[in-house]
A and B are shown apart, each in its own frame.
Chain A
Amino acid sequence: MEQKQFDKIVDQQTPKTPLFVNMLKAFLVGGIICTIGQLITFFYIRFFPFTERTAANPTVATMVFIAMILTGTGLYKKISQIGGAGSAVPVTGFGNAVISASIEHKPEGYVLGIGGNMFKLAGSVIVFGVVSAFFVALIKTILVKLGVVSW
């Protein structure tokens, strides 16, 4: 069988991913999570001395706390089955990746299990975030020093 024929058969046999439906679900689930975040932001601005700028930090921490409860009770798995990227892209998905890894590897011990595996799934986000931030900031700082752009 030629490679082209083979590819065609593979194409026919794999179930079509309903792209539009997936996008709609991701939009709704991600949107709802961000709306909850906005409500928490309002809460911190109203009842604590935070401004709109600084309220983002406690909001993120609260969302990760909620992610812990949902992950531990198994609800986040159900949400992510519906939401796809809608549940993975918000910071709750980052929290879910860290927390589920640490719960899963707990039997291997506190140091080697939890400590060693906590960032197994989420580590790449931190690594590439830091590396790209380093190069972006480095390039911009050099450009500012050369007088090409301003802060």
Chain B
Amino acid sequence: MISSLITSFVVGGLICVVGQILMDVFKLTPAHTLSTLVVSGSILDGFGLYEPLIDFAGAGATIPITSFGNSLTHGALAEAEKHGLIGVLTGMFEVTSSGISAAIIFGVIGAFIFQNSKTTY
């Protein structure tokens, strides 16, 4: 248990370091950085490389935004395997729904609970 905590710490930290390098060295805005990471995650899954990383690092690979791109591609590929080309379109959100639905639901609930102040950004 301790060892998987350490691997998730190291791998998750390293993915964030990649993001920091994109911001500082390549002077990308946060939005560009996150989009780049999502696209890399989905390409990595196209080569079948992201799932082994999840097996190795657990939350270290599933918490960073790269896993969002991975699960989009993964859902599309799983559905394409069953139903052919149309599955690419229909399977997209099969796996990844929880992140988006949680963000929408808690976004609305948060807006009900909390008041706007300069501290939220």
Contacts and interface: CB of A to CB of B under 8 A. Distances in A.
Given A64-B103, A65-B102, A95-B103, A89 B19 contact: yes
Interface size class of A (residues with CB under 8 A): 35 or more
Contacts of B13: 26-28, 30-31, 34, 86
Contacts, number: 278
A56 B51 CA distance: 12
Contacts of B116: 103-104, 106-107
Nearest to A104: B116
A97 to B, nearest CB: 8
Interface in B6-52: 8-17, 19-25, 30-31, 33-35, 37-39, 41-43, 45-46
Contacts of A77: 119-121
Interface in A30-58: 30-35, 37-42, 52, 56-58
B110 A72 contact: yes
A141 B85 contact: yes
A136 interface: yes
A91 B77 contact: no
Interface string A68-98: 1001111011000001111011111111001
Contacts of A6: none
Contact of B119 (A29, A74, A85): A74
Interface in B80-121: 80-81, 84-85, 87-89, 92, 95, 97-104, 106-111, 113-117, 119-121
A128 B65 contact: no
A56 B54 contact: yes
A41 B104 CA distance: 22
A137 interface: yes
Interface string A94-114: 110011111110110000001
Given A94-B103, A126-B100, 13 more contacts: A17-B24, A26-B16, A64-B102, A68-B107, A88-B34, A125-B34, A125-B68, A130-B72, A132-B69, A132-B73, A137-B92, A140-B80, A141-B88
Interface of A: 17, 19, 22-23, 25-35, 37-42, 52, 56-61, 63-65, 67-68, 71-74, 76-77, 83-86, 88-95, 98-104, 106-107, 114, 118, 121-122, 124-130, 132-134, 136-142, 151
11 contacts: A30-B19, A35-B8, A37-B62, A38-B8, A56-B62, A85-B20, A93-B65, A103-B110, A107-B116, A136-B46, A141-B85
